[in-house]
Chain A
Amino acid sequence: MASNASRRTLRTIVLLYLAILIGLPVVFLVVKALGSGFGAFWHEITEPDALSALKLSLIIAAIAVPVNTVVGVGAALIIARHKFFGRRVFDTIFDVPVAISPIIIGVALVLAYSRIGWFGAPLERWGLNVLFTPLGVALATMSVSLPYVLRSIVPVLTEIGQEQEQAARTLGAGRLRIFWNVTLPSIRWAVLYGVTLTIARTLGEFGAVLVVSGNIAGVTQTLPIYIYDSWDQRFDVLGSYSGALVLALISIAVLSILAVLRRREKKLLVDLA
């Protein structure tokens, strides 16, 4: 920018915008959740419903994150290292769940796997039902957190090329050995970046889970649903703030990890959007 004055004006406008949009809500949340003292906050997040919601959220994350990590790494290797018929389509499918409304994901899962859905009858014969069960919550969560690992790895894989892999292969290394000793070390920060994003999305998913869960306390209530339920149905405002603060602290931790990883691997900035 030409003059110092206009530069300073623009900076002020931007900082003000960010302060109103992001800063104010964060400060306000901390003040509200801890305003009645740390004891009250602690009491709220250790009550049975909150704990069981937290437990379910962690269990679901423990299923969805590893699965989507393995799938993401595998698919990234396929997309970055192979040329095959339908590669573009394969690549695009991964973005579908995050490009459309989480509510739509929920409705789609119900129409496919619940009692009224396509596969409801055969699934029920096996005793499986997705509507109002933890299984549905897990499916919805896996769906909305699908692309992050893939999207973090592919640019890095493309960037590093495959000369080292080819060298290892020429020296007689098998596929698994090449992956563990050559490929994985060079993409580990990207994998970690993707896993961090996946965890954030997994713990925070609300819309898709709300549609399939039926919001049953202690059974299908994840932490985000608990926050909503506390506010909207049980008028337990402090419980809602306290749960929200827990999730906000997790996402601040996530942001810090992402920032550290980005400093190690410049390529990672590009693929969030």
Chain B
Amino acid sequence: MPTDTPLDVAPLEVHTSPAGIGWRRVASRVSLPFLMGGGGTLIVAYLSIIVLLPIAALISHGLSISVAGRGAGLEFWRWHVSTNFSLFWESITAPGAESAIFLSLWLSFAVAALNAVMGVAIAWVLVRDKFFGRTFIDSVIDLPFALPTIVAGVVLLAIYGPDSPIHIDLFETWMGLMLALLFVTLPFSVRAVQPVLASLDLESEDAARTLGAGGVRTFFGVVMPSLWPSVLAGFGLAFARAIGEFGSISLIAGGVPRTTTASYYVFNLTAGFEWSAAAAVSVALLVLSLVVLVTANVVSHHYQKRLL
């Protein structure tokens, strides 16, 4: 919104739009803690308590970072910071840990990929198709997001467990886990694509069709190129959600090693009060989901730039 002119901005100090023209000169000296009459400080303090300090403590425990002071107290340049990397490595390569991380990785990839395909299909039907009950289906997509994960867990075990009324027993199998993960990641895959698909104009598709391209060819040649960035973004979100998921799989996994995902493994460690090992595996899991999220974002931006 380039509606601001420097004239509007000048007397208003910091109350200017980021997209405005004059902010750099006027507002760049304001720092976060002083914004909103000191409210910024409170928010930063709150974020520190519920996010930053716990994550710092987790990383520090996970990598066994220890700080030994040398000399008088606060001379931090003389502190000796050491990490015990071998302990971290030992924790994440323990037999159970390694297989749990591997299981989480491939399951999350498979689930994110499958739902990326279904996400595009569902978004297409919701945006382009017209049928009775479409708005209802549209709001149903969010159900896995709004439904508590343990509710999904209970119901999935009831349907696909040992007492399955439809005689499909997926208890303690990877297929059971996959079903649960497909359920919880669905909204991310659909909602990432849907707004972009809705905003595409139909002209280029019509042009392609006039030039003789069939429906499938039009879709892959004209529509998909503009959808790739959002599909990838959805893939990243779904992957991150899947690799961290616990509630919906906690019951159908049963607790045998072959269906113990990384987050389930970490939970088992906490139940046995093995906090250092839990922290180490958590750090590994954190890094993995971060790598995938960032990669998906970078590639998505790359595609987006090529489009413009």
Contacts and interface: CB of A to CB of B under 8 A. Distances in A.
- The answer to whether A binds B is yes
Contacts of A28: 155, 158-159, 165
Nearest to B148: A204
B285 A101 contact: yes
A23 B159 CA distance: 12
Interface string A1-38: 11100110011011101100111111011001000000
Contacts of B121: 10, 13-14, 17
A142 B279 contact: no
Contacts of A24: 159
A100 B8 CA distance: 42
B279 A111 contact: yes
Contacts of B46: 67, 71
A101 B245 contact: yes
Contacts of A247: 147-148, 151
Given A200-B146, A244-B155, A2 B214 contact: yes
A93 interface: yes
A203 B151 CA distance: 12
Contact of A102 (B142, B158, B244): B244
Interface stretch (A42-50, A184-192, A265-273): A265-273
Contacts of B96: none
A177 to B, nearest CB: 14
Interface in A134-188: 139, 142-143, 146, 158-159, 161-163, 165-166, 169, 175
B81 interface: no
B270 A74 contact: no
A272 B44 CA distance: 24
Contacts of A158: 1, 17, 19
Interface stretch (B87-95, B184-192, B300-308): B184-192
Given A2-B218, A15-B137, A104-B282, A74 B143 contact: no
Contacts of A270: 191, 195
Contacts, number: 303
A14 B131 CA distance: 13
A206 interface: yes
Interface residues of B, number: 111
Q: Which of A110, A158, A254 has the most CB of B within 10 A?
A: A110
Given A11-B129, A207-B149, A78 B51 contact: no
A234 interface: no
Contacts of A220: none
Contact of B36 (A11, A17, A78, A112): A78
A165 B234 CA distance: 35
A186 B122 CA distance: 32
B175 interface: no
A96 B55 contact: yes
A135 to B, nearest CB: 12
B222 interface: no
Given A18-B122, A90-B32, A107-B275, A161 B150 contact: no
Given A143-B50, A241-B154, 8 more contacts: A14-B125, A15-B125, A93-B52, A96-B51, A244-B155, A259-B139, A270-B195, A273-B237
Closest 10 CB pairs of A and B: A204-B148, A101-B244, A2-B215, A108-B54, A207-B246, A251-B146, A108-B58, A112-B57, A273-B191, A206-B247
Interface of B: 1, 3, 8, 12, 14-19, 23-24, 27-28, 30-32, 35-37, 39-40, 42-44, 46-47, 49-58, 60-61, 118, 121-122, 124-125, 128-129, 131, 135, 137-159, 165, 179, 182-183, 186-188, 191-192, 194-195, 209, 214-215, 218-219, 233-234, 237, 240, 243-247, 250-251, 262-263, 266-267, 270, 275, 278-279, 282, 285-286, 289, 293
Interface of A: 1-3, 6-7, 10-11, 13-15, 17-18, 21-26, 28-29, 32, 67, 71, 74-75, 77-78, 80-87, 90, 93-94, 96-97, 99-113, 116-119, 139, 142-143, 146, 158-159, 161-163, 165-166, 169, 175, 200, 203-207, 210-211, 224-225, 227-228, 231-232, 240-241, 244, 247-248, 251-252, 254-256, 258-259, 269-270, 272-273
